[in-house]
Amino acid sequence: MYGGDEVSAIVIDLGSHTCKAGYAGEDAPKAVFPSVVGSIDQMDVDDPGNPEKNSGSIPDSKNVVRTFDSEKSKGKNKLYVGSQALGFRRDHMEVLSPIKDGVVVDWDIVESIWDHAFRTAELMFEKYKVPALFLAKNAVLTSFASGRATSLVVDSGGGSTTIAPVHDGYVLQKAVQSSPIGGEFLTDCLMKSLESKGLTIKPRYSFKRKEIRPGEFQTVDLDLPNTTESYKLFSQRVIVSDIKECVCRAPDTPYDESAYSNIPMTPYELPDGQTIEIGADRFKIPDVLFNPTLVQTIPGMESSAETAASVRGLPQMVIESINKCDVDIRRELFSSILLSGGTASMQQLKERLEKDLLEESPQAARVKVLASGNATERRFSVWIGGSILASLGSFQQMWFSKSEYEEHGASYIQRKCP
């Protein structure tokens, strides 16, 4: 029905932190941009679309005319989607996320993100009038990306960590485990910890750097009273997230305050030119994935301590998930544990997880944690799996077609895409 080389499927992976989109058959997504949008209530402002009037810094003309940044009016709100539209301060602009704990809570925002993804792929079917559709589960696609039909997928993304066993291309739903601790939670922990030490993270839009002598700069703060709290927080988190990715690594053994109190400090230069030193936090923050109760020791994270107390660490979740599967596939799952997602790209995470599982798993189990050596592949494994699947000849019979939709209704997708 759709067979042949002329089928150009578009693969979209909407994650809680980043949206990835591109053509099937390619080895990386064409478009990668945040899964949050900027929103300006039209009642708040007379002229929100004028960047010169609303921004602390005027972008160059190339940025203004780029079609990648969609500005879309939705009712009384104007939405700004894409890395560049969001990297750009506007008066009264709130930053909103459509996903909470891995579940879509605002479909209007998702619609604006998909608009942007289709536009970026240079293919806008007249308002999504696509001829066919297929929905696949993330874990299955990660498994395909590694060339396996059976594996245990540990997907640690921005908003959550999910452990899902895949057997012969199907997710064993009864054994899926999930935790709200993902990359954004770790970013919050690091941000609160830095603030408790008296460090202020200045967002990029809030200052200008003037060269007073060759090689010597002075920072001048800008007064931008109409910046929303959510945009300020979004801009600070971008910086803290980069600190986390640059200096953090999973400790080889469970974090212990006294053992790590004298470790050498690592410097990091903030956008405003100040250099900060990061010590034990480099190891403490990543260890929250393995020991969520550590959150209780981070000043400012008290509100999350209750959530963390009810969450199990990564190794315990893996073992619990495998134990909920049939006995005859447990051995195979232990030997093909796949890491995927941006948070799973953290240094030493693979080695630490393997070490902890060797200690806690049955003696007969041959534990093997697998992760692509390429951080890009690890981060985009769900999208890459979708790209592989949609480019297979045998896949062409699996589409949920428009005529089937018209005949059976939307609920039929559960049978076509189990």
Ranges in the chain annotated CATH 3.90.640.10: 183-306
Task: Kindly state the DSSP code that residue 67 receives in the 8-state scheme.
Answer: T
- Render pLDDT for 61-111 as a digit per residue (tens, 0 to 9): 222 222 234 444 445 788 888 888 888 888 998 988 888 877 788 878 888
Ranges in the chain annotated CATH 3.30.420.40: 10-134+399-413, 138-181+312-378
Amino acid residing at 354: E
Tokens coding 88: 């750009």
CATH topology of domain 138-181+312-378: Nucleotidyltransferase; domain 5 (3.30.420)
Give the model's pLDDT for residue 51: 42
- Render pLDDT for 120-149 as a digit per residue (tens, 0 to 9): 333 333 455 677 778 788 899 999 888 888
Closest CA to 118 of 108, 130, 106: 130
**CATH class label, 10-134+399-413:** alpha beta
Task: Kindly state the DSSP code that residue 36 receives in the 8-state scheme.
Answer: -
- DSSP calls for 359-407: HHS-TT----EE--SSHHHHHTHHHHHHHHHHTSGGGGGT-EEHHHHHH
- The C-alpha torsion from 50 through 54 and 59 to 60, rounded to 10°, is 40
Q: Distance between CA atoms of 379 and 389, rounded to whole angstroms?
A: 18
Q: Distance between CA atoms of 401 and 408, rounded to whole angstroms?
A: 11
- Render pLDDT for 291-334 as a digit per residue (tens, 0 to 9): 999 999 998 888 887 777 788 999 999 999 999 999 999 999 99
CATH no. of 183-306: 3.90.640.10
